């Protein structure tokens, strides 16, 4: 029997929304992913297994062939690049927006702006395209704190409801990209196992259309 296809899934909200989609496509883990300490999970299909990892690691596992496919947010692909990957399907889950945000009423006071974000590459490209010189400060969380503590003027971050921004005296400004989760495929796996990969893509496309 051929080695099962390995699909890398992103932890957190994306995983919560991916599992029902996989179930509609006829793929369910044989045990509860949320309560298990395992990292690799067999499924109801003997030819597909799941691995659950950090979103930033999903493209790396797929690019290098440790996983054949993966589910990851478009923000990760925009930030780290999608070289060596196919992106055949927008799954339409975990939707949000990648935006700039700042204190309510903020306006630029000079030619430079300080920007806090974990999306360093995206931020640099965005402000360069606007003709703005941005000093980008990399942070890993609590972006809203940076303007409050005068570490930065603006932030670039994922915005869902905007409630956290409002609670901290901030407002969304410019939309950089609309984000959703994408199916990515290793190029070598697509060539070597086209039949089973294509069938899986078709099943997931049909399952995604249900929503």
Burial per residue of 142-175, b for 16 or more beta-carbon CB atoms within 10 angstroms, e otherwise: ebbebbeeeebbbbbbebeeeeebeebebeeeee
For residues 61 and 104, what is the distance between their CA atoms, to the nearest angstrom?
40
Cα dihedral: 152, 156, 157, 160 (round 10): 110
88-104 pLDDT, tens digit per residue, is 999 999 999 999 999 99
25, 93 in Cβ contact below 8 A?
A: no
31-44 pLDDT, tens digit per residue, is 999 999 999 999 99
User: What's residue 211's pLDDT?
Assistant: 52
Low-confidence ranges of the chain (pLDDT < 50): none
Token output for 10: 């992103």
User: What's residue 111's pLDDT?
Assistant: 74
User: What's residue 77's pLDDT?
Assistant: 97
Those residues with Cβ within 8 angstroms of residue 202's Cβ, 6 or more apart along the chain or in another chain: none
| pTM, to two decimals | 0.91
User: What's residue 161's pLDDT?
Assistant: 86
């Amino acid at each position: 029997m051929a080695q099962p296809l390995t699909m890398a899934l992103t932890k957190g909200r994306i995983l919560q929304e991916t599992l029902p989609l996989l179930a509609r496509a006829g793929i369910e883990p044989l045990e509860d992913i949320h309560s298990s300490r395992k990292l690799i999970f067999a499924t109801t299909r003997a030819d597909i297994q799941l691995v659950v990892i950090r979103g930033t690691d999903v493209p790396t596992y797929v690019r290098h062939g440790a996983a054949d496919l993966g589910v990851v947010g478009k923000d990760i692909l925009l930030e780290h690049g999608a070289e060596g990957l196919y992106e055949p399907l927008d799954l339409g889950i975990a939707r949000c927006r990648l935006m700039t945000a700042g204190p309510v009423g903020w306006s630029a006071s000079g030619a430079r702006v300080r920007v806090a974000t974990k999306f360093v590459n995206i931020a640099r490209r965005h402000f360069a395209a606007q003709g703005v010189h941005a000093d980008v400060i990399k942070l890993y969380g609590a972006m809203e704190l940076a303007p409050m503590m005068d570490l930065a003027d603006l932030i670039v971050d994922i915005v869902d409801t905007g409630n956290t921004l409002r609670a901290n005296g901030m407002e969304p400004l410019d939309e950089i990209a609309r984000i959703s989760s994408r199916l990515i495929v290793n190029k070598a796996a697509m060539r070597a196992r086209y039949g089973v990969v294509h069938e899986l893509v078709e099943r997931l496309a049909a399952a995604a259309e249900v929503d």
